[in-house]
Structure 1
Amino acid sequence: MSRLAFRAVAAVVGVAVLAAYLTAALLVADALRFLWAARPDLPVLLALLAATTVGSAYLSYRIGTAQILANLEGERVPRKRAPDLHRRVDALAARMDVDRPDLYVTDARTPNAFAVGGGSGSGALVVDRSLFRVLSAREVEAIVAHELAHLEGNDGFALAMADGVGRALVGFATVLALPALLALSGLAVGSAWIRGRPGDRSGPFARLHRALANALFAGFVLATLVARSRSRKREFAADDRAAEVTGDPVALARALRRIERAAEPSWPFAPLSTYKRTEDPAERWLSTHPSIDERVERLRRHAAERGPTRRIPVGPSGGRSRRGAGD
């Protein structure tokens, strides 16, 4: 094909692409104008948007919680199988403003514990069996108190709502910007074809499209950072509450450090592992948890301010019993 023929074909393709994109942009803009014209009064509109945003976030939270429990590779532990652990959970829950959660034990071989649910329901406390091999009884108690603090503050729901609201706001902004995105994309692609350079994305329309898309992406990142920042603050608050309830912040600090050491890989290719410490600011900003170093240092400061540890007994006394839920 001669260069002249190629330019003619490219021009036809460019015009067709431009027409298709602009038609789609006009259709979306007309739909948005129709919705705007049919809108209720502003207070009602804002109330509907707020209800939709909160409702979708709540539904996502409830479905997510149900899926976690449904997919949990563990078992619900009856009281007769782990009376000591149940007594400790009972005593801690009695000291806190939280309903006693259901108790589950998993066997993922990674020391861990987490809480799901809370609020109007009793929630669930999930503990991995390996935790009992790594921690002493007092340290397990401190970890349990930390997780109960999450249930007490209904942190899972609050964080899911913050994340859902942020994503919904970015979603609304994206819908409003969709006509402009389509029009700019069509102008960028169509003009490149018309110029006979289909792969060229350096034109002004392409730059404007990237700028708008990057602005929307920045909004999504900002919403994520706000939600993650809130999550890290709730981790600190749960540490504080656990230290207050047990009266032993050092036990929680020791537990966190031992869990960190137990979870850290020791095999030769450990730098390639998904578990690693990082000093990268971006990774730390996107993390849902503060670093173990920060949490341990903070708990040790609390212990120093308290003076000699006055542990509040919340369960049966004993030294370093390592009795697990499955024993």
Structure 2
Amino acid sequence: MRRLGLRLLMAAIGLLLLALYLGLAALGTVVITTVVSSRTDLVTTVGLVVVFAVVFGVLSYRFGTTTLLASLDAVELDRERGGGLYRRLDWLTAEMNVDTPTVFVAQMQLPNAMALGTARQGVLVVDRSLLWLLSPAEFEAILAHELSHLESHDGLVQTLAYSVMRTLVGLVFVVSLPFVLVVTGFAQAFGWFTGRPATWTDSPFGRLRERIGQALALLLVALTLLIRVHSRRREFAADDRAVDVTGDPLALARALRRIERVSQPTWGIRSPLTIYGSEESSLGRLLSTHPPMDARVERLVERAEGPPHDATTIPIQ
């Protein structure tokens, strides 16, 4: 008798959970239907969402630059102290469609340089070690590479792409939420009805819910991979643009190799900013924002030895 009472109680809990989830799903469906069927047509709604994503991305990029500079404890290098560097930048920017950026010097854990901002209000952050690690020609090639990112607005485009991606995935999640709630309700109720509430994920409804989650994760991964492919192509394009301006592909190749050698871990010590070994795996290459160093150097050497390079043949690495 006690066992029967327990089973009835569990069944009642299952019914209550099912009713709760169905109620939430119905509420979500009403909200979505109201938005879709409102006076604002669907095209306008999608347009507003895209505009919101773009505005949010622009603001994130602008304020993110300030936050990053603060986190690096970067110090601005004015023209009085960095006259030689600014003269080199002025010559490069005269050859490119970009204004001379403001230069900041930081003490990073690895030799690095990065371009932030826009072509008209750019910021260039240089690690102190690059000032003595590279020869003048090599340093100039690295500067040209970073300026090309500003010229093409690569940083802003990447930030906007991630913002739109998050918005798109969020919309898909919101639209599918009522169905997910219904499936979850039936899965939870099934677990209580069978007397095994802890194993509701093993039920047919639980497995269906898991498949939905996997589909959303797959969408996120697919969009991320597309953005990473674009990022790697832009690195090749920046190399090509730097060579077009400096006319010295081997200087950039030597600079990349010097930075690579210094950045490699020695004596068993590894920088927390770099994960060695993951680049060799297929997944690591797919998720990397930069193409393999060997591929970049090989292209530069081929350009130095062969005919003029055709920028339309940039490989997808």
TM over 0.5: yes
Structure 1 counterpart of 2:207: 207
Structure 2 counterpart of 1:150: 149
Structure 2 counterpart of 1:37: 37
Structure 1 counterpart of 2:161: 162
Contact 1:250 / 1:303 at 8 angstroms: preserved in 2?
yes
Pick closer, same or farther for the CA change 1:41–1:108 going to 2, 3 Å: closer
In structure 1, C-alpha distance between the alignment counterparts of 2:126 and 2:41, rounded to whole Å: 50
In structure 2, C-alpha distance between the alignment counterparts of 1:90 and 1:269, rounded to whole Å: 39
Contact 1:99 / 1:122 at 8 angstroms: preserved in 2?
yes
1:202 shift after superposition: 1.8
Contact 1:103 / 1:125 at 8 angstroms: preserved in 2?
yes
In structure 2, C-alpha distance between the alignment counterparts of 1:4 and 1:249, rounded to whole Å: 81
What letter matches 2:14 in structure 1? G
Structure 2 counterpart of 1:194: 193
Q: SS of the counterpart of 1:290?
A: coil
- In the alignment, is residue 302 of structure 1 matched against residue 303 of structure 2? yes
TM-score, reference length from structure 1: 0.88
TM-score, reference length from structure 2: 0.90
- Identify which range, 131-140 or 64-73, moves more after superposition: 64-73
What letter matches 2:263 in structure 1? A
In structure 1, C-alpha distance between the alignment counterparts of 2:159 and 2:297, rounded to whole Å: 26
1:158 shift after superposition: 1.2
Structure 1 counterpart of 2:311: none
- Which runs of structure 2 are paired with 1:97-176 in the superposition (5 Å)? 97-119=97-119, 121-176=120-175
Pick closer, same or farther for the CA change 1:112–1:216 going to 2, 3 Å: same
- Which runs of structure 2 are paired with 1:80-95 in the superposition (5 Å)? 80-95=80-95
Structure 1 counterpart of 2:312: none
Deviations 1:29-49 (A, max 9, x none): 111111112142344334323
Unaligned runs of 5+ in 1: 308-327
Deviations 1:93-128 (A, max 9, x none): 111110110000001242100000114x42100000
In structure 1, C-alpha distance between the alignment counterparts of 2:114 and 2:149, rounded to whole Å: 9
Structure 1 counterpart of 2:314: none
Contact 1:249 / 1:302 at 8 angstroms: preserved in 2?
yes
1:269 shift after superposition: 5.8
1:22 shift after superposition: 1.4
Contact 1:185 / 1:209 at 8 angstroms: preserved in 2?
yes
Contact 1:143 / 1:252 at 8 angstroms: preserved in 2?
yes
Structure 2 counterpart of 1:23: 23
In structure 2, C-alpha distance between the alignment counterparts of 1:115 and 1:53, rounded to whole Å: 23
Pick closer, same or farther for the CA change 1:138–1:197 going to 2, 3 Å: same
In structure 2, C-alpha distance between the alignment counterparts of 1:193 and 1:285, rounded to whole Å: 43
Contact 2:21 / 2:181 at 8 angstroms: preserved in 1?
yes
1:302 shift after superposition: 1.0
Structure 2 counterpart of 1:282: 283
Deviations 1:281-307 (A, max 9, x none): 111111111111111111111111259
Pick closer, same or farther for the CA change 1:112–1:43 going to 2, 3 Å: same
Larger RCO (CA within 8 A; separation ≥ 6): 1
1:63 shift after superposition: 2.6
Deviations 1:183-202 (A, max 9, x none): 11111112111110112222
Contact 2:187 / 2:205 at 8 angstroms: preserved in 1?
yes
1:223 shift after superposition: 1.1
Q: SS of the counterpart of 1:71?
A: helix
Structure 2 counterpart of 1:76: 76
Q: SS of the counterpart of 1:110?
A: coil
1:13 shift after superposition: 2.1
In structure 2, C-alpha distance between the alignment counterparts of 1:86 and 1:182, rounded to whole Å: 59
Deviations 1:252-287 (A, max 9, x none): 111111111101111226599843142211111111
What letter matches 2:208 in structure 1? L
Contact 1:265 / 1:273 at 8 angstroms: preserved in 2?
no
